[in-house]
A and B are shown apart, each in its own frame.
Chain A
Amino acid sequence: MSPAAQPPVMVFDGVCLAFGGECVLDRISFEVARGETLVIQGAAASGKTLILKLALGLIRPTRGRILLFGEDVTEYSDAQWNGVRARIGMLFQEGGLFDSLTVEENVAYPLLNQLRTPLTGEEIRRRVEESLEFVELGHTLDKFPSELSGGMRRRVGIARAIVTQPELLLYDSPTAGLDPITATTIMALIVKGRDMSHATTVMVTHRHQDGELLDRYRWDPSTGSLAPAEPGSTRTRFMVLREGRIVFLGTPAEFDACEDPYVAKFASR
């Protein structure tokens, strides 16, 4: 099946979410096609992270439907969700690494718990090492998360997210609280992950530079670094949320041209 004929990887159809009668997401509707990159921006508490948590089945919508990989997952039980979650990699804002496990055990966790076909110990070790080499942290296997810096923890989080080679990658504010140099390193790894595996990527961020990087750069395997991408080749779209509503959803060109003063705050001009 050609990518165009395949169903969208993620569909939110009129999704509403309320906590204690207070509506925190209101009629959220969007689609993410296979291989596309969606950058979600918005002020703090605008509901960005909630969209990712809904997409992972960690919370249920109050109204509306969520479709992942063509399946309606809105009413799925936790057991049903496990099959869907195995196809998704997620980087949590703080990394979400387990304190009591070593880096190796953290990265191996999805391989031991998510895959339906069990892998041998040797195969697990190989894939963990590969994944950690990908984020240039091959030497940290025996360390605990508390022994790593904030940037290194995010990198281990990326290694854990990609170790099962998921079709959909979700990133929750991957650069929040990091210095500009580390933030660029993390973003380069996200671009590398996207371009090497051709995974669909959804990233929540509050930094316009992060979205810009995903849109305008690609990973060049020959040089092992980022290179400018052809306009439109990264298939990136931008979405802006305000108080739980989508106020903008469109291409980078439309994003840059949008005259809404709120949206303009997140665009790179």
Chain B
Amino acid sequence: MDFLSNVINGISLGSIYAIIALGYTMVYGIAKMLNFAHGDVIMVGAYVCFFMTSRYNMPAIVGILLSMFVCTVLGIMIERLAYKPLRQATSLAVLITAIGMSYFLQNAAQLLWTSNPKVFKSVVGDGGIQLTEGLYVSYVTLVTIAACVIIMIALTVFTGKTKMGKAMRACSEDKGAAQLMGINVNTTISITFAIGSALAAIAGVLLCSAYPNLVPTTGSMPGIKAFTAAVFGGIGSIPGALIGGVLLGIIEIFAKAYISTEISDAIVFGVLIVVLLVKPTGLLGKKISEKV
């Protein structure tokens, strides 16, 4: 029974990682850049929803839609102002800019909304389903998993079947060639960021619904764990993000429950190192051979 309840706890935690990881992997898969500010866009999304639902008593759906809208605009702005001028620069320069962006967002949030913690009101209600004695699944977990699966399928269909998706895959493979074929690379990448940021808003709302503590650094640690999950599952792979996230959550809870609460993080990252040593591209990562 203990085992099962640990599995459920692991899935609850993992589904949160997974939904954040989807945004990471989406942007990385297309734009080939690690958007370290993703976690902080999540935080902005959560704040927008918080102000709508708790301060102005709007229905949850308004809060979610508005936070998606704000995050989309924010994502496009970040891309235009911070990343686009560096399109030709080395990937290291872009990476450092992304880290700078992350700090900028955190500090801006601190100025705007102070560092006093706020308690987020869950958008899906507080209850859950009692399966049997000691086995309990909260609605937030169910909604998060459902959202993960829907987003995963939608993204797969979008990148596989639509014209825009085709353009995205082309940009991902070879920007120069894509441009020669008449694809507007800048617009494509902007749209990628727009989608990634809208996903971040959903992730932020669900993250804070599950763990209702909202501060300007709320997004940073889950962001890093989710990035780990994305690498674990194979960065760039959409189903990989889901699997990586859920597995990471389960490993973390198992490490805490069966080994030690003190060194659980060390164990999680230890497992990650082992996986990457055996399979450097992650669980579902594609092996791409570079042609010279």
Partners in one complex: no
Residues of B within 8 A of A (CB): none
